Amino acid sequence: MIRRNFTNVPYFILMGLTDSAETQLVLSVLFLLIYLITVLGNSGMILIIRLDPQLHTPMYFFLTHLSFLDFSYSSVITPKTLQNLLTSTKSISFLGCFTQMFFFVVFIATECLLLSSMAYDRYVAICHPLHYPVIMSTRLCCTLVSSSYAMGLAYSIMIEVSVTRLHYCNSNVIQHFFCDSSPILALSCSDTSEAELIIFICAGSNLVLSLITISGSYLSILSTILKINSTTGKKKAFSTCASHLLGVTIFYSTTIFTYLKPKTSYTLGRDQVASVFYTIVIPMLNPLIYSLRNKEVKSAALRILQKREGSLNRCDLGYSER
């Protein structure tokens, strides 16, 4: 079946976001800036957490993988988008298109599940602080993260198989800036009901499972916080959840809007705006949210810089003595 697809449609054309040359130039500069911040922010977050022993805790273990996922799915989408904006060649091979979709779904689905694991971590930290080191053991943290990746991979395989089995013989023009399931299904001359159902089940089960875990965790957290008599204690408890809750709200609001709806309600402009936000902007925002609002990360970064400065000064001193 896939060979037949290659024969019918050897490549796709990504129409992008706009036909205006001036707007394309502005978007290319903006997206390049955002991507650079994304790469520096997420790689910097991973580096800080790895280098500072005080951040070797479950929360920052999850945050390391969140940064990796943000960097990864942004890198799957943004470089190709920049190429299309800066060149007249907007084609992508059949294999390249579905490879892009495969890895994007793996990373985005894994991030959904990872965010729910982070919510559970905050629930244990606030509702069961005395048992936190025992409950959030290294083994449990590794199990939660590996399960998130495994389920993300399984979702992606099911979606990929369902979409590549279709025939694409009417048109090869994708009305989008990357290979996403909805605009690709719109090109098929086959019956897409089965593929739509599989995508809806995969996306729906992923989001529902994640949201149930997150909602249950935060309801328990809220109940516990309301029982705290100290105002300072309440503020401290809220501050530990604020960054994660903000990141979850931004991420899920756009993904739910995009994926939990039938193909018939797909509208080009509205869906593209939402897609730009969660594929390009959110990976940049997450490291800013978790670093600028986190005193521990800022303190760790300062300690690393001071150690680096101290080592450089010792090297300079040794060189001068020679």
What 3-state DSSP class applies to 308? helix
Residue corresponding to tokens 């925002």:
285
pLDDT surpasses 90 at 160: yes
Q: What is the Cα–Cα distance from 292 to 230, expressed in whole angstroms?
A: 25
Please check whether residue 172 is in contact with residue 188, taking contact to mean a CB–CB distance below 8 angstroms. no
Please, are residues 100 and 183 in contact by the beta-carbon 8 Å criterion?
no
pLDDT band for 302, please (50, 70, 90 cuts).
confident
- 258 φ/ψ angles, rounded to the nearest 5 degrees: -80, -45
pLDDT of residue 226: 85
User: pTM (2 decimals)?
Assistant: 0.86
18 or 210, greater pLDDT: 210
Better-scored residue on pLDDT, 148 or 322: 148
Query: What's the pLDDT tens digit per position in 211-239?
Result: 899 999 999 998 988 888 877 777 777 77
At 3 the pLDDT is 43
Share of the chain above pLDDT 90, in %: 40
The Cα 242–Cα 244 span in angstroms is 6
92 φ, ψ (degrees, to nearest 5): -145, 135
pLDDT band, residue 248 (cuts 50/70/90): confident
Q: Please give the domain boundaries of the chain with CATH numbers for all domains.
A: 2-321 (1.20.1070.10)
